[in-house]
Structure 1
Amino acid sequence: MQTEEILKTVQTVLDETKGQTITTLDVRGKTSFTDYMVVVTGTSGRHLKSLCDHVELKLKEFDIKPLGLEGDLTSDWVLLDLGDVIVHAMTQQAREFYQLEKLWSVDKAEAIEQQAG
């Protein structure tokens, strides 16, 4: 499975599991450890963990295993490392505090936002 296919699968699963304000950051050329970061807002620690668990389960169908998962049911930030794609599932408060989009200096033209509907 190519990186873009993994990215599309991640975006679809996050949307289907009620992830909010899904933003994809294209960080190719800005870092050597990943190509894309997907930042998604969840409503609680349990929701954040569930978002990442659902992504992990879907990708297992394609024999893709994560390199790591950080965070638990009490976390404000759960990170799922898929190699070329990293998922940052955060509460609204954590997302506002850490401002990953600003940290990576992503212009509006570089960020792809989807409103969960």
Structure 2
Amino acid sequence: MLRVSGNLTVNRDLQAFGTLRAQGDGFDVRAVGRGRSASLRGTAGGVTVLADTELQAPFRTVARIEGTDIRGTLSLERGVNFTLVTAGETARGSLDGERLNATGRIDLAALRPLLGKRT
């Protein structure tokens, strides 16, 4: 069963105010608007995701995953720019239209906790 509560408003100037929470079978997510910034905190399957973003250019966003060996940053400025670190391996790059430029590598085994258990 999905339960949603709270009140989150985004105005024309892209300012967000309030809190919205969604809970269900095995997950709990909360979004909070603080004017020109917003945050997301959630847990699912023992993994916690924390993300903060600026609601103005360049829309700098930082996301972190706990319960796994993953962390990363993401920004939107002349395309999507990212850095992803998994188990000590780092990949960096950008995506602009159909052009993808990336260097480095990641440890795919570090992604296992995100997949959950399958029976």
Instruction: Tell which has more relative contact order, 1 or 2 (C-alpha 8 A, sep 6+).
Output: 1
Q: From the two aligned structures, give the one with the greater helix fraction.
A: 1
Q: Where on the TM-score scale, by shorter chain, does this alignment land: which range? A: under 0.3
> With structure 1 as the length reference, what TM-score do the two structures score?
0.27
> With structure 2 as the length reference, what TM-score do the two structures score?
0.27
Q: Larger radius of gyration, structure 1 or 2?
A: 2
Q: From the two aligned structures, give the one with the greater strand fraction.
A: 2
